[in-house]
Amino acid sequence: METSEDLRTIVDGCIKGKSKYQQQLFKLFYGKMMAVCMRYAKDRDEAQDMVQNGFIKIFNKLDVYNFEGSLEGWIRRIMVNTAIDQIRKNKRDPFSIEDDSRIQNMEEEVPFADDDEHEIKIKAETAIKAISALSPAYRTVFNLYVIEGMSHKEIAEYLGISEGTSKSNLAKAKMKLKEELSLKFEH
């Protein structure tokens, strides 16, 4: 990884609009950010759109990055925002509950006891594919809660939904994922 001084050079170069540095920054973070977007998108094309729009935003906003906190964290936040904006754009009311079955806060901390779950290493591609297959509402809450580590309260504020919806969507997302992933293990 680049030293912080190298990063500063790259960021300064990007702010000046120098293509060489923009490409360096892009190369440094593309892989990680594409991985982030792939979890928010329904397919590769949508992820590609998100990551490209995200980078354009990043290049345009880079002059407000003040080197407090990690650059990667800053870039990732913009990327997640871009991804969610794009989901919002593509669908009306995308984060609300889809069906009316009310599953409240499912029981957490269930140890792995089932036979088909002893295989605990899941391939990144398999996991991403399963997450992508979720509906936008489930996918977004799952990503924000599990991967970005946001609380239900934060998610509710961020997406403009109720905490109950956030909890219920997470529970249903996890149920679907477990179904999907354990199906995979059987083969």
* Cβ atoms < 10 Å from Cβ of 61: 12
Please, which residue, 93 or 110, has the CB nearer to other proteins?
110
Please, which residue, 27 or 91, has the CB nearer to other proteins?
27
52 near other proteins, rule: CB under 8 A: yes
* Interface residue with other proteins, options 4, 8, 35, 151 (CB under 8 A): 35
Can you tell me the distance from the alpha carbon of 60 to that of 66, in angstroms, rounded to the nearest whole number?
14
Piece of the chain touching other proteins by CB under 8 A; list 47-55, 64-72, 74-82, 93-101: 47-55
* Cβ atoms < 10 Å from Cβ of 152: 21
Residues of this chain, 96-135, that bind other proteins according to CB under 8 A: 108-113, 118, 120-128, 131
* Interface residue with other proteins, options 9, 59, 164, 184 (CB under 8 A): 59
Q: Which residues, including other chains, have CB under 8 Å from residue 187's CB and lie 6 or more apart?
A: none
Can you tell me the distance from the alpha carbon of 144 to that of 68, in angstroms, rounded to the nearest whole number?
23
Least distance (Å) between residue 144 CB and other proteins: 12
32 near other proteins, rule: CB under 8 A: yes
* Interface residue with other proteins, options 11, 15, 133, 146 (CB under 8 A): 146
Site of interaction with other proteins (CB under 8 A): 1-2, 17, 19-20, 22-24, 26-27, 30-32, 34-35, 38-39, 48, 51-52, 55-56, 59, 108-113, 118, 120-128, 131, 146-147, 174, 177-178
